[in-house]
Amino acid sequence: MSRAPRSLAGKVVAITGGARGIGRATAAALIVQGARVAIGDIEPELAERTAKELGGGTIALQLDVTDRTSFASFLDQVEQRLGPLDVLVNNAGIMPVGPFAQETDAMAARMIDINLEGVIFGSKLALERFLTRRSGHLVNIASIAGKLGVPGGATYCATKHAVVGLSEAIRGEVHGTGVSVSVVMPIGVNTELYSGLPQPRGFRTVEPEEVAEAIVGALQSGRYEVYVPRSLAVTARLNALMPTRVTDLFGRVLGSNRVLLSADHTIRGAYEQRMAQTEAGTYAGPAAAKAQPAQTGSETAPAQPERVTETV
């Protein structure tokens, strides 16, 4: 007999990168379930606007996931305003695409800072709270790229593989403590992060609401591995069993080996502009982005410490 789904009514949930995309959709889905939601984002004005649009008592707080002090302050404020933390959704991430040999070291460092180090910081800070209470649920948003290597996204895949491994190790450590861990692995999601990219044959781009629904389901059931769509689990398992020459053949036939190398840069322009500013350390939100002169050719601003978090 299957267990009754866990109630999320009254649960305090913090979501990183919550102002747009999967983060926003997840907040909306959890509000419907009666959860008390806090969204953290590098763009406080956008987060405030999102919180007002979502309603349900949602609060918005500024958050830089690459700064441990900022992350700790975010969770402290969540608990001060909403109560003890029950769930952390580590959602913030960026995905520049293109050939690995042409990727700058600065951009690689930013992906590692945001996509991986931010998840490490958040996981540690959440577990400090969860373990003392012997309850809580950590949700780390990875990607199918955390199971498969995709040409055109080498460093991104590396960060998502790391998130999958991190989540698996944490799950083993907290077994029997009352703390749950879920790792969410969607295929390409119809957000700005995935804009301008083609679909491989036999697969479809999913909506952020579908990922949000899967996250809600994981929180209700305690499920660890969450693929979106669920059928993606079969693909990942078959890929792990098949010889390399067979997976290479399937990649060529389905076109999956060209997806991240075939970006429509016109459609993807707004996101890529933000990524260029991220790399240069100049991105500080939409208002600042509008004030930035358009860059041409290969010219970029001098590299300096970046402070940006995007939404998966």
Which domains are delineated in the chain? 12-232+239-290 (3.40.50.720)
Going by pLDDT thresholds of 50, 70 and 90, the confidence category of residue 242 is confident
pLDDT at 312 > cutoff 60: no
Residue 180 φ then ψ, to 5°: -110, 155
The vertex-2 CA angle with 169 and 15, nearest 5°, equals 45
Computed from CA positions of residues 228, 88, 20, 31, in that sequence, does the dihedral angle turn out positive or negative?
positive
What three-state secondary structure class fits 141? strand
Residue 58 φ then ψ, to 5°: -65, 135
Percent of the chain with pLDDT over 90: 65
pLDDT digits (tens, 9 = 90+) for 188-221: 887 888 787 877 776 778 899 999 999 999 999 9
pLDDT at 148 > cutoff 60: yes
138 versus 242: the higher-pLDDT residue is 138
Going by pLDDT thresholds of 50, 70 and 90, the confidence category of residue 268 is confident
pLDDT digits (tens, 9 = 90+) for 26-80: 999 999 999 999 999 999 999 999 999 999 999 999 999 999 999 999 999 999 9
Alpha helices in 63-117, H assignment, sequence order: 68-82, 105-111
Is there a catalytic annotation at residue 283?
no
Q: Got the DSSP string for 231-272?
A: THHHHHHHHHHS-HHHHHHHHHHHTTTTGGGS--TTTTHHHH
The label of the residue with tokens 């067979």 reads 246
The vertex-28 CA angle with 26 and 32, nearest 5°, equals 115
pLDDT number for residue 8: 98
Tokens for 177? 């403590």
The rounded distance, in Å, linking the Cα atoms of 19 and 67 is 18
Average pLDDT over residues 141-147: 95
The rounded distance, in Å, linking the Cα atoms of 126 and 130 is 6
Q: Identify the weakest region by mean pLDDT among 9-13, 90-94, 187-191.
A: 187-191
Give the number of C-alpha atoms closer than 13 A to the C-alpha of residue 195, restricted to the C-beta side: 15
Give the number of C-alpha atoms closer than 13 A to the C-alpha of residue 302, restricted to the C-beta side: 1
Average pLDDT over residues 264-291: 67
pLDDT number for residue 293: 37
Find how far residue 222's CA is from the centre of its chain.
19
pLDDT number for residue 259: 82
pLDDT at 301 > cutoff 60: no
- The whole-model pTM stands at 0.86
pLDDT digits (tens, 9 = 90+) for 100-131: 999 999 999 999 999 999 999 999 999 999 99
| Residue 29 contacts residue 215 (beta carbons within 8 Å) | yes
Computed from CA positions of residues 61, 67, 68, 70, in that sequence, does the dihedral angle turn out positive or negative?
negative
Mean pLDDT of the chain: 86
